[in-house]
A and B are shown apart, each in its own frame.
Chain A
C-alpha cells in the first residue's frame, strides 16, 4: 500500500479566512512533506517533517503554518492568504530509512484564494 490521502480535494477561501489542509499516511513512513505546485510547473518544496520534527522550511511565508501531530498526520494551516497562493498543494511521504528517500504523493488539494 503506497497511499497518501489528502482532504479536502478542493478548497475556496477568502483572504481573511482560516482553513487547514490535512494529509495522512499509514505506511510507517517517517518523513512527510508539503509542496506547492503551479500549473505546468514541477512541485516546489515548502516544508519537511522528519520523525515528527520540522527539519526544512523553504522560507515559506508565515501565513502557512505546518503541524505534525503524529507520525501519520500532517496539517497545513492557512491564514490571510493572497490570490497568488492559489495552487495545487501536495503532501508526500517517504520511508526515510535505510537510504530509501522515494517520495509518494497524495492526490493534492486544489486551493483557490478569492
Chain B
C-alpha cells in the first residue's frame, strides 16, 4: 500500500541534542499525525495537525503542517533517554485509512 517517505530512517544522537525529522507525500492531506512507538507496544499519538502552516507543541515536541499540505516536520528539543523509539508520521483525508510513514528510529546515548 501507499506509504509516506520519512527521513531520516534512523538517528543516533547524544542526550541533550535536538532532533528533527520529516515526512513527505506526493499527495495532499487534510490532517497529519505523529506517533511514537516503543518496542513491543502500540503507537502513541503525540501530535495532531489540522491546518496548513499550523505549528503545534506538546512539551519538548513541536510539529508543523507544511504549507503545501504534502509534508510535515517533527522536532524534539533537549532529547532524553526515554525519547528512544520509532516515530511514525501518518496522514489522512477525513477517512478511516491512515497512510503511515516508513518510520524514524531514534537512539539516544547518555
Q: Say how far B11's CB is from chain A's closest CB, in angstroms.
A: 15
Which of chain A's residues has its CB closest to B1's CB? A44
Pick from A2, A48, A94, A105: contact of B43, CB under 8 Å: A105
Listed in ascending order, the chain A residues whose CB lies under 8 Å from chain B are: 2, 4, 6, 31, 33, 40-45, 48, 50, 55-56, 58, 88, 90, 92, 94, 96, 99, 101-108, 110
- A31-B96 CB under 8 A given contacts A88-B40, A101-B31: yes
Which of chain A's residues has its CB closest to B6's CB? A42
CA distance A31 to B96 in the complex (A): 8
Contact A99 B94 (CB under 8 A): yes
Contact B103 A101 (CB under 8 A): no
Contact A33 B102 (CB under 8 A): no
